[in-house]
With several copies, the nearest count.
Chain A
Amino acid sequence: MAVIIDKDNVILVQGITGKQGSFHTAQMLAYGARVAAGVSPGKGGWEVHGVPVFDTVAEAVEKHPITSSIIFIPAPGVKDAALEAMSAGIKTLVIITEHVPLHDELDIMAYAEKLNVTVIGPNTFGIISPGQSKMGIMPNSIYTPGPVGVVARSGTLSYEIAYNLTVNGIGQSTVVGLGGDRVVGLSFTDVLEKFERDPETKVVVVVGEIGGNAEEEAALYIRQMTKPVVAFLAGRSAPPGKRMGHAGAIIERGKGTFASKVAALTAAGAKVAVLPWEVAELVKEALEG
């Protein structure tokens, strides 16, 4: 078992003929993910790494039993691609693209809410259920199946954490990247709820960072969880008031600070690590406890 995607997941790649779409289609296939079709307007009839390409999502879903789609379209076309996938009936959507306009994200999320679609991203590394399926740009080699659910705001940081777990012999049920933008499809809480219900997941790792109040909100739910939670937080040393890369990471007036997040998570019963290599140890303790 796993959350959101498992071995029955049949994938569509939107933007499959582009550089990233084509490269990561090969990586997903190499991982064993079931990539059934791709879409690229005007390129219907092509093949990319043996995967058939269609002009529209409607045509692809007509001809293949697609369950989810991953989007590698340049930012200005992401809203169009996302609405296309949703209106064609796709219920799980992973949007890798970064720099998607904020208002396009608002439109995408409103439509996803209307049609009950799970959106991962935008600006995410994606999602992987090790040994079952992968929709994303994460390296194939750093995961192994197991009992730990991981949910992260930030991509590379989650690789570091997952890699550390794997190196220490601890596998993952599913690793989910929420995405680094101000508006993304899932919150920590949304994913924590799924992990809480997933019988295979025994411990959950939350990879957060300074800025915003997503971790503080997650803490409210963590209080009610039966499963142990280990959190890692980046940004302890960040100077206040500076914008660090993405919108989440602004520290202002005592909100979203490192200290407030540590306090909220600790009070909720989570163990908080502040160096990446501490996570595996805390998880091991939680698994054994």
Chain B
Amino acid sequence: MKLYEYMGKDIFRREGIPVPRGKAFFSPEGVADFVSGLPSAVVKSQVLSGGRGKAGGIKFPGTPAEAEAAAGELLSTVIKDLPVHAVLVEERLQIDKEYYVAITVDGARRKPLVIASAHGGVDIEEVAEEHLVKMHVDVHAGLQPYFGREVARRMGLPPDEARQLSQLLVKMYHLFRTYDAELVEINPLVVSGNQLVAADAKITLDDEASFRFPDWLPRVEERTEKEQRAAEIGISFVELGGDIGVMANGAGITMATLDMIHHFGGSPRNFMDAGGGAGTEATARALEILLSTNPKAILVNIFGGITRCDDVARAFARVKETVGIPVPIVIRLVGTNEEAGVEILKQQGINAYRTVQDAVARAVELAAGKEAI
């Protein structure tokens, strides 16, 4: 779950990481009042995608009245398809230098990774490798102050900044671990009158740990309504735009199924991974989501492991008997409890395929309007 900048800065404040004075507003009301207490202000639209500055999402008003107007303007805009529901109004910092610092997980090394650079304030992907400092953390040692001093040394920071960076990293790591973060990023980390201040806050939390997120933390939703419905039953769903509805079990096999559809000249309408042992109920609801996208044909590719073929077949039988399946459907069914599954489908007048290439080829034919079996 990505957090909005204002939520990230709230957490920074709780953890003792220095941030500019600021407040989130969900309507322009009160902005002028708040800004009149600041030497100068910035109004930032709260969106989850990057590049909001270039998209006009950041304003530098000259007066409190201008600030309130800017907030109103931003709160009525849409940036990259997303309506702006909040703005963060902050003290405008004097910027002497801009650094970059982030903590994330390096999957290949199975360890937290600190990335830092004295060249901050730009897209970190554009910073040359030799200007990046990368150091792994041993979770058994934790991130101790020395680690921050070594990062600072490699960045070439002067002693007082090194001391501040060291304290900051200890706090960032504490946040990273206690909030189940996938990413904690500060870009830019600003030097403002000898003080390091987090001018931005990008925090992504691990959705798998949502059961232990703090109660006070608002939930942020980024999925489309169909993706959301799929997520609720534990299924990954991505809309793609072709005409063959696809369901398979496992991310890899689903991708391979899309590849095979392309190979035979077809075009998939979606990615749907119904894997992970989805039972009859979840599979039936997944099929309903698929039907709601109005595909020209449906291709189901199930290789049962933890998923059981009879559960899947029962789901198809149930949907066929209740809401009906108004489009041609091709099912490939092998693996755990295969015989039982094939039998259930046969009773519904569906002949399951055993070989994937036959099934995919048939689905492509059907979607292209060739006659049904």
Contacts and interface: CB of A to CB of B under 8 A. Distances in A.
B125 A253 contact: yes
B305 A42 contact: no
A183 interface: yes
B277 interface: yes
Interface string B321-334: 00000000000001
B349 interface: no
B274 to A, nearest CB: 10
Interface residues of B, number: 65
A213 B108 CA distance: 8
Across the A-B interface, the 8 shortest Cβ-Cβ residue pairs: A154-B252, A245-B251, A156-B250, A157-B252, A84-B146, A42-B159, A101-B209, A156-B253
Contacts of B159: 41-43, 55
A276 B256 contact: yes
Interface in A236-259: 236-239, 242-249, 253
Interface in A49-74: 55-59
A157 B276 CA distance: 13
B238 interface: yes
Interface stretch (A109-117, A193-201, A223-231): A109-117
Contact of A182 (B105, B138, B258): B105
A275 interface: yes
Nearest to B260: A275
Nearest to A125: B305
B135 to A, nearest CB: 9
* Residue picked from B110, B112, B206, B249, most chain A C-beta under 10 Å: B110
A111 B149 CA distance: 20
B146 A183 contact: no
Interface of B: 105, 107-108, 110-112, 125, 138-141, 144-147, 149-150, 153, 159-160, 162-163, 177, 180, 182, 206, 208-209, 211-212, 236, 238, 240, 248-256, 258-263, 268, 271, 273, 275-277, 303-307, 334-336, 338, 356-357
A50 to B, nearest CB: 21
A276 B334 CA distance: 15
8 contacts: A76-B212, A104-B209, A106-B105, A139-B336, A154-B250, A156-B305, A248-B251, A277-B357
A137 interface: yes
Given A142-B335, A274-B259, A276-B256, A58 B150 contact: yes
Contacts of A79: 144
A281 interface: no
A117 B208 CA distance: 24
B322 to A, nearest CB: 25
Nearest to A44: B153
A217 B146 contact: no
A36 to B, nearest CB: 19
Given A102-B180, A114-B140, A234-B259, A152 B150 contact: no
Interface in A155-179: 155-160, 163
B306 A96 contact: yes
Contacts of A25: none
A207 interface: yes
B110 A109 contact: yes
A56 B149 contact: yes
Given A109-B110, A160-B303, A245-B275, 5 more contacts: A80-B145, A110-B138, A213-B108, A244-B236, A249-B255
A214 B106 CA distance: 12
A284 interface: no
B251 A244 contact: yes
A131 B248 CA distance: 28
Contacts of B256: 157, 160, 234-235, 276
Contacts of A114: 140
* Residue picked from A104, A106, A114, most chain B C-beta under 10 Å: A106
B163 A159 contact: no
B263 A41 contact: no
Nearest to B309: A139
B356 to A, nearest CB: 7
A155 B211 contact: no
B240 A103 contact: no
B303 A56 contact: no
A202 interface: no
Contact of A102 (B162, B182, B240): B182
